[in-house]
Every structure is written in structure tokens, then in C-alpha cells.
Structure 1
Amino acid sequence: MTVDTSPGTEDEHDPAVTALPVSGTEAVDAAVRAAETVLTRRFGSAIGLVDPEALPGSGPATVVRARIAASPFGLPRTLVIKHYPEAPPRGAADPFAQEAVSYQLFTALPAEDRMCPELLAHDGSLRVLVIDDLGRAPTLWDKLRGQDARLAERALLSWARSLGRLHATTAGREADFEALLRRLGGFVPDDDTTPAVACARLPALLAETLGVTTPDDVRAYAEYVCESSAASAYRAFSPVDLSPDNNLVTSGGVQFLDFERGVVRNALVDAAHLRVPFAACDDARALPTGMSEAMIAAWKAEVSGVWPALGDNDLLTAHLLDQQMLLVWVTTWADLGGVAADVSPGRVAALVSFWKDLGTYAERGGKDEVAAHAREVASALNARFGPGLEQPLYPAFR
């Protein structure tokens, strides 16, 4: 595939253009000024923005919705600005570059294959990108905390399908992603080393915190999964942050919004989140029985065309168990690796659920020792932080 690097500007590295670090109320004004500059350069005529509205966000960007005062170019009435005033340390991953390149990758695709807003303009020197405004559609989190179980179920299945389409349309495009990232001056990140750290250190942490010994066979299996995951042939783009508040539920399906950590990696790492939903979220809650299986089926339907081997249920199930185990280990290491006393009861309840589910799936997959170890960890977590810990359902399913 030949990637069109537009939209953008020809002076992405113009030394005369510098981003101004801002804070407080100045941040919105700085974002609007940067957006007006990049849009004017992009379209060759002055474009003014009015009625700026700061949007919530937990990342390093200032996010603003603004209205176009007047434009002869058929641009949307409103647009969204993401401004990253602070550059990262040298050699560190740059969330602006990763997000801008992610949007470039998708904007080069036909509209029907795009699971995110369209990129309208960006500038590497101003560290700003301007994207289409999808409006005030509800997020996936809004659906999960609502009162309608049927709407929440449809939203989850739409999310799984969109995730599968995202993987299918970006499979085999790792070189394009890296080329765009280098052009923008971004640092091409290596595969995440956190799984390797978790596999090496979690057994000692479980012994110290919970008094649970990890059998050698279970440890060896985890190490094998960790090594094979990085070498997987099923590589595609991933937003990495799969939190439900980063996905808009629109009439055209779920749209992904946040690509600050976007990378190309093993797509099955993302698919494991269908079994361990929203594992990294502090308020992760349970889904109804059978929901994960339905989501996996929706994801599989989208990716089996590009990865026919995953149409084999036995092979896919084995891969999902591998990644489910790795995700549970990484999540547990992240939660208990600091001061265990600081972990909230709700978060420990989620860990108990994750380990119980791992035990169930491992037993189905013939991994009896993994299943026994998972149940022992779940029991020990409940005894250490409970008793009686139980992960509640999302409000829509109560």
C-alpha cells in the first residue's frame, strides 16, 4: 500500500514555527491558535475558529471542540483540536507523533474502512492535529453505565466488530506506520517489555504477597507465551488504550478516539481484552455470562478474511488462552507491584474475577496446572483482601 501522508503541512519541521508550552486557561487559546494556523496553511486561506469548548481528557493533550466561523472549503461546521505543547524527552515515545501517524494511517483508507474521525490537518512543529468532530454521541462507557441492557449489549458487539475491522484493515501495514512515524520525527517504540517483566517477577510477588507458589510448568508456560506473543504473525494496529470512554457509539458503529499510545503489535493482545474486558481500567466490572464469547465471535468474523487460520476455533481458542493468561499476569503485576495495601477492594475484586475466569478457560483448554494455579491465586486474593470480594456487573446489566 502507498500511504498518502496528507493531510498535513509542508513545513512540519520549519524551525521558525515553535510550540509554546502553556498551562491553565491559556491552553485552550493556544490550541485554537495552533489549529487556525495549520488549517490556514493546509487550505491556503484564513480559517477562523470560534466558540471553543474544552473537552475532558486524561492524557497530555489539550482537547478542544471549536466551530469554524466561515470556510469556502466544505469543512465540517465543528472540529476537534488536540494540542500537545510539551515535547517528550529525547528518545522517548511521543504521544503526539503516535496519534498523528495513527490518524494518517486511517485517513489513507477508504471512508468505509475508517474506524475513527478523519484527520483534517496536522503540524509537527506546532504539535497539533485537527480532526473531524463526531458530535456528542455517547461513549461505550455511557452505554455500560446506562439502564438498557440491550443497548449496552449491542454497543459491546459493535465495539468488538470495530476492533476486528481495525485489525483487518491495518494487517501487514507495520512498515507504513513506522515510515510515517519516522517522517514526523517520532521514536519507533520497541515491543512493550512489561509482559517480560511480569512473567519474570510475578511469581515472587505472589509468594510474598499471597503465599502462593507458582509451579515450574506454569512459569515456563508464561515465559513461552511472552516470547511467542512478540513474534506473532498476527500483527496489526492497536490503540493500546481500550478503555470504554475512548470509544464513541455512532450510527455507523463504534469509533475509536484516542491513539496517543497507538502502535502495531500482536492483534491477539487486543482480542484478549474481550475475555478480560477493560482490564486496565480502575473501575472494570463484570459482563453477563456469554457476552465475551459473543464479542469474540464478532471480532473473529472481521479478521478471519485476512488471517484464515484464526477461523479454526481450536487454534483461536488456544491463542486467546495464551493472551488471556499474559494479560492477567501483567494486570496483577501492575496492581500489586506497588504497595498492596493501596489497592482498592473493587480493584482486587476485579483481579479475583480475572483469575477465576482464567482458571475456567485453562481447564477447558486442557491446561490443568494453569487452572489450579489460577484458582489458588483467586482464593488467596480473596482471603488476603476480602473475604467475599465479588466484581459487580456494569450498571446496564444489573
Structure 2
Amino acid sequence: MTVITESRISGVVRAAETVLSHRAGAPVTLADPEDLGGSGRTIVVRARVMANPLSMDRTLVVKALPADEDPSAFHRELASYKYATALPTESRPGPQLIASDPDVRLLVLTDLGHGRPMSSLLSGTDITEASHAVSAWGQALGRLHAATAGGENDFRAILRRGASGAEDVDILGETAARAVADAPALLARLGVDLPDEIADRLTAACTLFTDGEHRAFSPSDVGPENIMLNDEGVQFMDYEWGGFRDATLDIAYALVTCGAQLSRSNVEHRPDLEVSMIDAWRSEVTSIWPALSHDRECNHKILTGRLLWKWLSTVWMLPADDGVATVEAPHVSPAGYIHDWALHTNDPRVVVARWTDLAAAARRSGETTLAAFAVALGAALQRTWLT
């Protein structure tokens, strides 16, 4: 575990004061730093603004990436914040960018305050509260997608002004492609058949990172650990490796990562919660993507995304020492992001449950081949890991 020392936090605060003072043309003083944690060796600090020549908020959040990390990670995150901050107020997915310094890998952001984490709303015992939360989650995703559809060239222009080559990096998409390429061998060693239909869908899902009919901006990890509800609604907390992808990948990601957070009393309501999330998302996006108003087509596309995410989280869990797994979750660079994402888990029960959930969702949509594959793989993993 990375230990963030007081001196490192103090150094980040001093660097933020320098950046803000340069921007303001007058001294800015920050005090009372509070360590908010971070991904890997990333430092995230809340600080109170003392001297305030720009009439900024009373508190700000400072985020600093290690200087020796891959610079493309910082430049993509900076581009994501710049792009999101330029959106209309009602469409901004989270904190706004106040200032930045690429030389020291530092971001200064607005403080979203002390709202309720999505994970706590899902893990509670109030099903009405959980239902309202997932509806708000889906609606916020849809609102973001609708507001950013067609904006990919603007985002790429911002990204090109950062580090050379940053726009070509999609760490999760590249990892997913490797995991899909290895699917036949991995499944064979688990004793699970790979139907042509499933192989084709996995391949098609990988193209959604670079292609697709419903492209929009994504913060990337839109799982519950990165979502907070405050007085202004749903807030997506981090934009690491944000960028454009097919929007159905995002709603599928939300559905996949939601399940592990549900309390025992709420698990039985999972189908209704999924419907609430999907319907809320569709209410925002069907005006620009009318095809998604058709239940069969919409469900098929979302299930394809869910299949990919579940497969990727499974590959990360398969042991590397028995010759089965060839794809690991990237975590050394940049800054441990993937291992801190909601998709990643070290709990085999979570992965097995995800295949059970997919089988149930496929049956509800009448997709028998997918349902049978999910059942078979879930059973194989159950035998391998839990018996």
C-alpha cells in the first residue's frame, strides 16, 4: 500500500498555491489540507482557500500524479477535464477544472463537497432509495452522452494540444482486445465451449472503443465507487483515461459494477433496478439515437457490452501460474488506475455472480445462446474457484 506522507501533501499544496497565484496574478494561500486518498501513488487533497483574489470557492481539490508516471495519463485526464468543464453547466458530469500545471502533473478542481457515495446508497436496506439512486445514475449518464454526442473532434483537438501521441492511447480498449483474442484458449482450458455467436459479439464489443453508432464522452470508470450524489445530483468523480467510446459500453459498465454493491435485501430487486437504470438512460438519449427506443435492439447492444466487461474482469481473475491467463490488469502505468476501477475485483464470488446476472438478463431478453454460455462459464468458474 502506498503511504502518502505529510511532506508530500504539503508539497502538493504549495505547488497548487503557485499555480493558482500565477493564474490570479496575486498570492493565493491554501490551508488545512485533508487527504482524500487517490489511485496508486496519486495524491488527492482538499484544501481551504485563505487569500482569495479570484473569489474562488472556499475549498478546492488538488490532484497530483507522480512525476515519473507515463505523461500520456496526465494529458488525457487534463484534456477530459478541459472538455467537460467547457460543457453547459447542466451537462457537466463532475468537478470543474480551475487550474493545471502539466510540468508537475497537477490539477486544481472545484470541490464537490460531502455528498453520499453511490455505493452506500446501493448497500443500504431502503429499496426505494436504491431505486432512485440508480435512476439518477442512468439519467446522468444519458444526459452526459446526449450533451457530448458529436463532440469527438473537439475533444481530440484539446488532446492534441497536450502530449504527443496521447490521443492514440486507450489502455482499457487495448487490454480488452487482448483478452478477447485469448478467449478461445482460455475457455478451452476451463472446459467451456465458445459459440461462434459469442466470439463474434466479443469481437464486435471491442470495436466499440474506437467505433460504434452511439459515440459520446465517457469519464471511463463510471462504477459506483466513483459516483457521489450531492445537492446538484449525480457527480462522476474521476476522468482518468476519459475519452470517446460507444455510449452502450458505459451503461453496460454501470450495470455490471452495480451488482457487487447491492445489499442482500436489495439483490432480489436487481432486475427492477436494472430496468430503472436503463429506462432513465434511454429517456435522455433516444432523442439523438432513435434506434435505442426499440427494446430488442437496445437490450442486445447493452448485453454485448456487459458480455465484454464480464469477460475482461474474469480474465483478470484467472491465475497466471497455471498457464491459463495471458492478460493481466495493467496497473504499473498509469498510476494504478485499472486496479482501482470498479470493474476490477479480487473476489471470485463477484465474478461468478456477474455471470449469473448476465445469464438472467439474457434470458429476460430471449437471448438463449448468451444465457447458456453465461451459465456454463459461471459453473466452470464456480468449480475452479469455490469448490
Deviation at 1:93, TM superposition (A): 3.1
Amino acid paired to 2:65: Y
Deviation at 1:217, TM superposition (A): 4.0
Q: Are 2:273 and 1:295 aligned?
A: no
Aligned to 1:53: 34
Amino acid paired to 1:264: F
CA distance in 2, matches of 1:221, 1:53: 46
Aligned to 1:33: 14
CA distance in 2, matches of 1:296, 1:109: 24
* Contact 1:159 1:253 survives alignment (8 Å): no
* Contact 1:121 1:131 survives alignment (8 Å): yes
CA distance in 2, matches of 1:152, 1:269: 22
Q: Are 2:234 and 1:257 aligned?
A: no
Aligned to 2:371: 371
Aligned to 2:179: 198
Amino acid paired to 2:370: V
- Map residues 64-143 of structure 1 onto 2, 5 A cutoff: 64-89=45-70, 93-94=72-73, 96-143=74-121
Aligned to 2:312: 330
CA distance in 1, matches of 2:254, 2:18: 41
Amino acid paired to 2:283: A
Aligned to 2:289: 307
Summarize deviations over 1:229-266 as a string: whole Å, max 9, x none: 64202111112122322111112211011112212111
CA distance in 2, matches of 1:190, 1:71: 38
CA distance in 2, matches of 1:253, 1:385: 40
Deviation at 1:367, TM superposition (A): 3.7
Summarize deviations over 1:245-291 as a string: whole Å, max 9, x none: 21111122110111122121111111112432348x7x787842311
Calculate the TM-score normalised by the size of structure 1.
Answer: 0.82
Q: How many residues were matched structurally?
A: 359
* Contact 1:248 1:256 survives alignment (8 Å): yes
Aligned pair in 2 of structure 1 residues 72, 93: CA closer, same or farther (>3 Å)? closer
Amino acid paired to 2:51: A
Q: Are 2:32 and 1:43 aligned?
A: no
* Contact 2:209 2:246 survives alignment (8 Å): yes
Amino acid paired to 1:206: L
Aligned to 1:189: 168
CA distance in 2, matches of 1:184, 1:227: 25
- Aligned-residue identity in percent: 38
Deviation at 1:190, TM superposition (A): 4.2
Aligned pair in 2 of structure 1 residues 319, 62: CA closer, same or farther (>3 Å)? same
Q: What secondary structure sits across from 1:233 in the alignment?
A: coil
* Contact 1:52 1:64 survives alignment (8 Å): yes
Give 5+ residue unaligned stretches, structure 1: 1-21, 388-398
Summarize deviations over 1:65-109 as a string: whole Å, max 9, x none: 1111122322111111111241434xx632x22222211112112
Higher helix fraction (1 or 2): 2
